[in-house]
Amino acid sequence: MEAATSDSVRPSGDEVADADEGRKPPDQTEAKSNGSNPRRRRNRGPLKRTSWNRSLSLRGRESIIFAGGQYLKAKPKQRGGWKKLYQKKVPEKLYDFSKEKAYFEEVDAFELLEESPTPNKFSWKIDKDYEFPEHDLAAILARWRRSKLFSKGCSGWPLSKIMETIPLPSGRTTSVGSFNCGIACSLSQIRETTAFELSEFNSNGSLKKPTDEPPHSEVASNFAFEERGIFSGNVSKNLIGDFSAGSVLSTFSALRIRDGVAASDKCEGAVLAESYEDEVGEFGGMKDIDDLSPWSCEGESLTAFEQLLMVCRQKAPMNLSEIFLKYCDSSSIKKLGEGTYGEAFRAGATACKIVPIDGDLLINGEIQKKSEEVLEEVLLSLTLNSLREQHDYSENLNSCSNFIETKEFRVCQGLYDKNLIRAWEEWDADNNSENDHPCVFPEDQLYIVYVLADGGKDLENFVLLNFNEARSLLVQVMAALAVAEVSCEFEHRDLHWGNILLRRNEDKLVHFTLEGKRMSVNAFGLTVSIIDFTLSRINTGEAVLFLNLSSDPELFKGPKGNIQFETYRRMKEVTGECWEESFPKTNVLWLMYLADILDKKKTYERTTKDERNLRSFKRRLNNYESAKDSLSDPFFTEFLADA
């Protein structure tokens, strides 16, 4: 993805048919096409990308976290504000509690020997050949949400919102309060109503304005408050027992409490209060710290990187070669394709996309993604994964299998090994890579590796045989978008032909379930997989994840008549730049783009009547407000059936 400039992309043709040729920079007309996204080429240097200032980035990725069924929106970022944010060399870390951590890890390790399943709510499903982790999405989301509130703080939020109760699974309720220097919440309020009352503290930690319930202020004043709101102090069994213990403990959820002793942790900007109604009894007896995890100790006090490791079920990063060895013989690794961030390699039946993270070095001219951003993308992918058909259809009111399956995520560190470099160079020789040679990475480079199902070839490079295949492709994409739209307000927002993968198989039908209705699509032996959710918006149920596309004005300045850039501009009109809101119409815009591509850019066997039908379908699309609406179009009547 690159920033658009009129000189790197041919601007002249107003015709869609011309526009795509502009994707090749003028000095590379002889080079093979190696990618599919003109956004990637906008500011390219003459041969390879060197370092351009790409303003579109995940730096616009934001999230809105729910409270009481409403949005709690993070403070809107100022445009361009991310630049300042990312000038920091060292990623911001929370309080370094490595000593405490080492201690608890020792305990964890001991318990793991004896206990199974693990305490982190993950289970492992043994597939035929490999182990794939089955993630507990709700638990990860809850942990992520708390950590986000916790680390970012919520002092800018209105109190009315702060005091709302966020529903959590398994009978838990959570309230979020702001905790600034010298301000803390009244424990009585937490116990009684799971809401906050703010009380001021003197610099010595005593309450300025004691609450009317002495025991509670007594508890509060037993904590020494340091400047900037760092809790430290001891929690005795008695004090804990004196209160609705679950509330008290989790109010100070950053505290690591064991045998009645709390190690200090940093409560920056937010205090999280939780009431674990069904577990209160346990705390009266003050059991082990591990009884409290993962919700009170694991997650909210961890950095994004630590959480990422947790989601990947890793204690530390692994080597790149280790992950590849799990799936294939390393001599068989082949590079499949590349994006601005990712290098995708085939490893056995999987595609492993390697994305460098958290480093200071510009890669392919880009600022590397940060763990926090990757974590949100991981959440997005897991949410889409959860749409894949379950064995029991009745449990899944909305399901489809057209979003690429994410099999696992891994955090890796180190140099590319020789087989990966060989595969990279082979691909470069054939396709003239736009990316930096992987030897640029330093020895301590971190990566996230997405292990995905191999989706086949992208639409740009796939040869469609006939009109039936083209129609099947359209309806499969439309059905997938409809399902995700209904299920999680999903909008892809970047569904260009490089992000649609195709592969042939023997399947005659593809199934999906929309609002409980099971349906099938004529597949004509074609399986469609949608990839790359970088610009996507989703409502996970816990939060809305979206990218602020307006933080990249260049995205909307692409050449006139280029259908892809026209689509970004139309999205901007449709959304009115409220990127956090749900506008299913954006899915329709990408379906119009796709119909245009199939009409003007792809060649396959078709009659004049087919062409007429496709064009009138494209016109009718204009009248639909969502992918779900579009499914009712007569163009698909004979392709769709109840299953």
In the complex, the residues that contact ligand ATP under the rule CB under 6 A are 1, 36-37, 40, 336-342, 344, 351, 353, 404, 452-455, 458, 498, 501, 531-532, 534
CB of 333 to ligand ATP, least distance (A): 13
A 10 A CB-CB count for 354 gives 24
The helix (run of H) or strand (run of E) holding residue 355 is: strand 350-357
CB of 548 to ligand ATP, least distance (A): 16
**532 catalytic, yes or no?**
no
Indicate the residue among 378 and 453 with the shorter CB distance to ligand ATP.
453
Indicate the residue among 183 and 477 with the shorter CB distance to ligand ATP.
477
Give the Cα separation of 340 and 367 in Å (integer).
Answer: 10
Cα→Cα distances 499→174, 180, 607, 637, Å: 38, 44, 27, 26
CB of 194 to ligand ATP, least distance (A): 41
Give the Cα separation of 117 and 347 in Å (integer).
Answer: 29
CB of 466 to ligand ATP, least distance (A): 23
Indicate the residue among 111 and 426 with the shorter CB distance to ligand ATP.
426
Three-state DSSP class for residue 27: helix
Q: Residue 158 burial by CB count (10 A; 0-12/13-18/19+): exposed, middle or buried?
A: exposed
Q: Residue 443 burial by CB count (10 A; 0-12/13-18/19+): exposed, middle or buried?
A: exposed
Indicate the residue among 299 and 498 with the shorter CB distance to ligand ATP.
498
Indicate the residue among 179 and 497 with the shorter CB distance to ligand ATP.
497
Indicate the residue among 298 and 372 with the shorter CB distance to ligand ATP.
372
* Dihedral over Cα of 118, 412, 457, 549: its sign: positive
Instruction: State the catalytic residue, choosing from 458, 494, 629, 633.
Output: 494
CB of 536 to ligand ATP, least distance (A): 11
CB of 365 to ligand ATP, least distance (A): 12
Give the Cα separation of 85 and 87 in Å (integer).
Answer: 6
Burial 117-146 (b: 16+ CB within 10 A, else e): eeebbbeeeeeeeeeeeebbbbbbbbbbbb
Instruction: Indicate the pairing of strand 334-338 with strand 343-347.
Output: antiparallel
Q: Considering only CA atoms, which of 341, 294, 291 is closest in space to residue 313?
A: 294
CB of 356 to ligand ATP, least distance (A): 10
The helix (run of H) or strand (run of E) holding residue 238 is: helix 237-242
SS3 per residue for 368-402: CECHHHHHHHHHHHHHHHCCCCCCCHHHCCCECCC
Instruction: Check: CB of residue 54 under 8 Å from CB of residue 41.
Output: no
Indicate the residue among 218 and 428 with the shorter CB distance to ligand ATP.
428
In 437-491, alpha helices (H): 467-488
CB of 452 to ligand ATP, least distance (A): 4
Instruction: Check: CB of residue 545 under 8 Å from CB of residue 537.
Output: yes
Indicate the residue among 298 and 377 with the shorter CB distance to ligand ATP.
377
Q: Considering only CA atoms, which of 405, 437, 453, 418 is closest in space to residue 319?
A: 418
* φ, ψ dihedrals at 617, nearest 5°: -60, -45
Contacts of 166 (CB under 8 A, 6+ apart): 66, 67, 68, 173, 174, 175, 176
Indicate the residue among 340 and 368 with the shorter CB distance to ligand ATP.
340
Indicate the residue among 512 and 533 with the shorter CB distance to ligand ATP.
533
Indicate the residue among 265 and 458 with the shorter CB distance to ligand ATP.
458
Give the Cα separation of 274 and 345 in Å (integer).
Answer: 44
Q: Considering only CA atoms, which of 442, 437, 446, 568 is closest in space to residue 496?
A: 568
Indicate the residue among 97 and 533 with the shorter CB distance to ligand ATP.
533
* φ, ψ dihedrals at 621, nearest 5°: -55, -35
Give the Cα separation of 327 and 322 in Å (integer).
Answer: 9
CB of 158 to ligand ATP, least distance (A): 36
User: Could you write out the DSSP letters of every residue in 89-144?
Assistant: SSPP-----HHHHHHHHHHHHHHHHH--S-TTS-EEEE-SSSEEEE--HHHHHHHH
Q: Considering only CA atoms, which of 186, 252, 263 is closest in space to residue 217?
A: 186
Give the Cα separation of 203 and 603 in Å (integer).
Answer: 74
CB of 92 to ligand ATP, least distance (A): 25
* Dihedral over Cα of 545, 551, 552, 553: its sign: positive
CB of 58 to ligand ATP, least distance (A): 9
CB of 597 to ligand ATP, least distance (A): 15
| Torsion angle of C-alpha atoms 540, 544, 546, 548, degrees rounded to 10 | 180
Q: Give catalytic residue positions.
A: 494
